[in-house]
């Protein structure tokens, strides 16, 4: 079995998110369509003799470059709020590796090097994706099948978005419908790649706080139109079928979201909306060239104070790659 593996956990966008009701466990019953995108973190996981679990974290291309894009001093309170990622039990990677080790009773521990690109508190699933990748990397290091259903059980215990990043059954997944708390998954097919622009304004939103200020609609919208448009590659239909019931409470907390969305509509993107509980927003472009051009335009208008990227749809789960180390 290998001693070191790597993976590139992707972010996700919620093309559709409806609130169906409040559950007794304090979570919301949701109906959401999630799309993996090629904005990824970088993970390296090694087995260790000692039983403890350690994590080192950095930012790509560097903390200073990311802080400059956001217009913050990395040592200021704002900078720490946006960029100081915990490396202890609060990090979902540490939580995932500890749960894995205890559940499968594997010998020794792990050391994880995590390089972040996915903004935190953005509604892009960064922590959840890292946790899912950590479970798969740990399974590969200990010879446990990557599609072992017990991994999905562990994932659901770690967070509502984590199961999505493990993929569905044994197949790679271009998009998924998530119901329940987010753990009931079904495949959604895409006829063609989707190209978008994503903007992360320099504000970190708490998922719990946005949900707590959301209201359950009297009239529930189903995701059928969105699912049909994705299946026939109809960009106009995807834009028209978009919805995010968490957008209203998120905008009340961070008003700049409205300004960002306005700028995105203004440069000709369509279906512009918040992803997840925010604060990141996305808009659909006709193709990758238009997405790159749109990102350049928004960068010149919005920087510093936002991170802007052109992205394309991707798949989950992220692959796990063996690293052949000199001592085998
Ligand atoms: C907003 C989304 O990202 C959309 O994909 C997810 O619903 C949130 O997934 P997540 O960040 O993994 O959320 P968790 O870490 O499981 O829960 C954080 C908090 O969000 C709220 N929460 C989360 C999921 C859900 N279906 N209903 C909720 O009300 C709860 O207050 C919960 O304590
Ligand atoms: N691996 C991780 N990467 C980034 N943040 C993490 C990680 N583990 C824990 N966190 C903490 O979780 C907070 C939320 O991170 P993030 O928004 O990436 O999580 P998420 O819940 O998966 O995504 P979403 O915003 O879509 O709900 C961060 O501000 C950070 O304090």
181-214 burial, b if ≥16 CB within 10 A, otherwise e?
bbbebeebebeeebbbbbbbbbbbbebeebbeeb
By the 8 A CB rule, do 226 and 33 touch? yes
CA distance 17 to 195: 19
> Does the pLDDT of residue 325 top 80, yes or no?
no
* CATH 3.30.70.890 domain span(s) along the chain: 195-312
Q: Which of 105, 161, 169, 255 is catalytic?
A: 161
Q: Whose CA is nearest to atom 24 of ligand 2?
A: 123
Provide the pLDDT for residue 327: 66
Q: Is 119 in the pocket of ligand 2 (CB under 6 A)?
A: no
102-132 pLDDT, tens digit per residue, is: 999 999 999 999 999 999 999 999 999 999 9
258-272 pLDDT, tens digit per residue, is: 999 999 999 999 999
Q: Is 277 in the pocket of ligand 1 (CB under 6 A)?
A: yes
Provide the pLDDT for residue 1: 66
CA distance 313 to 12: 9
| CATH fold for domain 4-188 | Ribosomal Protein S5; domain 2 (3.30.230)
Q: Whose CA is nearest to atom 14 of ligand 2?
A: 121
pTM reported for the whole predicted model = 0.97
Provide the pLDDT for residue 146: 92
Reading the block at residue 89, the tokens are 């039990």
| Annotation: binding site for ATP | 119-129
Q: From the CA of 292, how far away is ligand 1's center (Å)?
A: 31
In order, the DSSP letters of 50-100 are SS-EEEEEEESS-HHHHHHHHT--TTSHHHHHHH----STTSHHHHHHHHH
116 is catalytic: no
* CATH 3.30.230.10 domain span(s) along the chain: 4-188
Provide the pLDDT for residue 169: 80
12 is catalytic: yes
CATH superfamily of 195-312: GHMP kinase, C-terminal domain (3.30.70.890)
Closest atom, ligand 2, to C-alpha of 205: 25
Question: Percent of the chain having pLDDT more than 90?
Answer: 95
Locate all alpha helices (DSSP H) within the chain, ordered by sequence.
63-70, 77-83, 92-104, 126-141, 149-158, 207-212, 224-232, 235-240, 247-253, 256-266, 288-302
- Rounded to an integer, the average pLDDT of 6-10 is 98
Closest atom, ligand 1, to C-alpha of 178: 5
73-104 pLDDT, tens digit per residue, is: 999 999 999 999 999 999 999 999 999 999 99
């Amino acid at each position: 079995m290998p001693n070191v593996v790597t993976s590139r956990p992707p972010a996700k966008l919620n093309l559709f998110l409806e609130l169906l009701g409040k559950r007794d466990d304090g979570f919301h019953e949701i109906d959401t369509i999630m799309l993996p995108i090629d904005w990824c973190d970088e993970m390296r996981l090694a087995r260790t003799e000692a039983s403890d679990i350690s994590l080192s974290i950095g930012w790509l291309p560097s903390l200073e470059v990311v802080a400059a894009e956001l217009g913050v001093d990395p040592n200021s309170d704002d900078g720490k709020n946006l960029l100081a990622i915990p490396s202890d039990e609060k990090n979902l990677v540490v939580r995932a590796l500890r749960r894995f080790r205890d559940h499968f009773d594997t010998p020794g521990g792990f050391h994880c090097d995590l390089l972040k690109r996915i903004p935190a508190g953005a509604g892009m699933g960064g922590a959840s994706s890292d946790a899912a990748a950590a479970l798969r990397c740990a399974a590969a290091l200990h010879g446990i099948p990557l599609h072992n259903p017990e991994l999905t059980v562990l994932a659901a215990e770690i967070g509502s978005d984590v199961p999505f990043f493990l993929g569905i059954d044994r197949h790679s997944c271009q998009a998924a419908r998530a119901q329940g708390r987010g753990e009931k998954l079904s495949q959604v097919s895409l006829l063609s790649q989707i190209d978008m622009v994503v903007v992360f304004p320099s504000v970190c939103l708490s998922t719990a706080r946005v949900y707590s200020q959301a209201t359950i609609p009297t009239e529930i919208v189903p995701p059928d139109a969105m699912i049909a448009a994705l299946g026939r590659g109809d960009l106009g239909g995807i834009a028209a079928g978009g919805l995010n019931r968490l957008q209203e409470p998120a905008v009340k907390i961070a008003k700049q979201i409205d300004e960002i969305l306005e700028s995105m509509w203004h440069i000709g993107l369509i279906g512009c909306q918040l992803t997840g509980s925010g604060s990141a927003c996305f808009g659909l472009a006709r193709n990758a060239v238009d997405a790159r051009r749109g990102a350049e335009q928004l960068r010149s208008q919005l920087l510093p104070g936002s991170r802007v990227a052109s992205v394309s749809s991707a798949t989950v789960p992220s692959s796990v790659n063996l690293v052949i180390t000199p001592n085998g």
